[in-house]
Amino acid sequence: MASLKTLAKREEKERKFESGHSLCSGCGLSIAVRTILNSTEGSVVASNATGCLEVATTRFPTSAWNIPWIHNAFENAAATISGAEAAYRSLKRKGKIDKETNFVAFAGDGGTYDIGLQSLSGALERGHNFTYVTLDNGAYMNTGIQRSSATPKGASTTTAPAGKETYGKERKRKNLTEIVAAHEIPYVGQASISNLTDLSDKADKAIHTDGPAFLNVLSTCQLGWRIPPKDAIKVAGKGVDTCWWPLYEVDDGEYNITYEPKEKLPVEEWLKPQKRFAALFKAGNQEAVEEIQADVDEDWEKLKKKST
């Protein structure tokens, strides 16, 4: 288990990901990426799907990446990194490379839950030795805050806006972590930028797993969530403490809840600070809040049963 102090010292020494990028204040992407990359020592090669992370960290002629980094389209981050990993294994077998190298793909929820799901599923099934990281902020933020299948029920986006007819998105979000776990890969972890030690531990496990591994990381977007930048970590923490976003892992098929709140908060404490959910608290929409609470309670109970 790496402490935050250890991670800070490792960053001073290696600095795989630099500051000075143009990500928004309050954005969780840089927090997640820096923590994940600092959780491994040695060589790392990364692929990065098109999105906020790619755009804001590689503005020509600068780059925030101090590692080999590959830009790819929205839909093929997993295919790109699996190809690089396969080439590496081939060169290693031929004796042309002896350096130990880890392979990591970064993508947003739109590029994973939706248009990149086929590419991810194929790479997992083929058994490539890589870690895939989904940075989940619940919408296509880079292209204008459109809904994705990761968008929470009740959230207002530009393509599922709140108005006279509806409070926003009316369907429950896709449970991608469970979909990936169904592939029966060696390691799956769900984490949040609000719990950095937990994120680091999971990243360390994932990156050093022999075979495919997956991390789904709750990552704030102050613009899309409509929250003050200074509240980013606090709001992400509410998602964890209400169990809307439980922290757990599936390690070689075994479920393990890695953080259980001392007091499970009502889901309203996650919803209310975010103005994307404002319509839920207007007259006539209380039933939707109750439905969201019921969904959270049901999913939490299911997870606890799997973890016993």
Domains in the chain, number: 1
Q: What is the pLDDT of residue 49?
A: 97
| Residue 195, Cβ density class (10 Å: 0-12 exposed, 13-18 middle, ≥19 buried) | buried
Average pLDDT, the chain: 95
CATH for 45: 3.40.50.970
Q: Is the pLDDT score of 160 beyond 70? A: yes
Tokens of 193: 């930028």
Q: What is the pLDDT of residue 7?
A: 59
Q: What is the pLDDT of residue 1?
A: 60
Parent domain of 250:
4-306
Q: What percent of the chain has pLDDT over 70?
A: 96
Q: Residues 76, 78, 79, CA angle at the centre, nearest 5°?
A: 65
Residue 266 DSSP one-character state: P
Which residues on neighbouring strands pair with residue 290, listed in sequence order? none
User: Of 139, 165, 140, nearest to 153 (Cα)?
Assistant: 139
Distance CA 206, CA 42 (A): 15
Question: What does the CA dihedral 44, 72, 184, 173 come to, rounded to 10 degrees?
Answer: 120
The gap from C-alpha 245 to its chain's centroid, in whole angstroms, comes to: 11
Give the confidence band of 173 by pLDDT, cuts at 50, 70, 90.
very high
Q: What is the pLDDT of residue 12?
A: 56
Q: What is the pLDDT of residue 43?
A: 93
Length of the chain: 308
Residues 72-105 have pLDDT tens digits of: 999 999 999 999 999 999 999 999 999 999 999 9
Give the confidence band of 238 by pLDDT, cuts at 50, 70, 90.
very high
